[in-house]
């Protein structure tokens, strides 16, 4: 489960950075790498990013119901 959470988080970060590029420079990096926004590989990446966001709603809702995120609760415990 931890590996899947890390993979989905990475995909969400990639998607967020891609949207940053689209917003600032009107440049879709995913489309540029995989052959255009309508190319099957681009559509697969877009779908995986979206599915990753849906998957991450579960740990997010758990963190919100606990009152703090895991990152905040473990922040002071790292040495």
What is the distance, to the nearest Å, from the Cα of residue 62 to the centroid of all Cα atoms in its chain?
Answer: 17
DSSP 69: -
Q: What pLDDT tens digit does each residue of the chain (79 aa) get? A: 899 999 999 999 999 999 999 999 999 999 999 999 999 999 999 999 999 999 999 988 888 888 765 556 655 555 5
Domain ranges of the chain: 2-67
Check residue 42 and give its pLDDT.
97
Neighbours of 30 (CB within 10 A): 24
Check residue 20 and give its pLDDT.
98
């Amino acid at each position: 489960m931890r590996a899947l959470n890390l993979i989905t988080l990475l995909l969400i970060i990639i998607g967020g950075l891609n949207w940053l590029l689209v917003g600032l420079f009107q440049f879709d990096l995913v489309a540029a790498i995989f052959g255009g926004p309508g190319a099957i590989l681009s559509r697969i990446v877009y779908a995986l990013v979206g599915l990753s966001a849906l998957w991450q709603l579960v740990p997010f809702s758990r963190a919100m119901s606990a009152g703090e995120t895991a990152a905040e609760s473990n922040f002071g415990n790292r040495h």
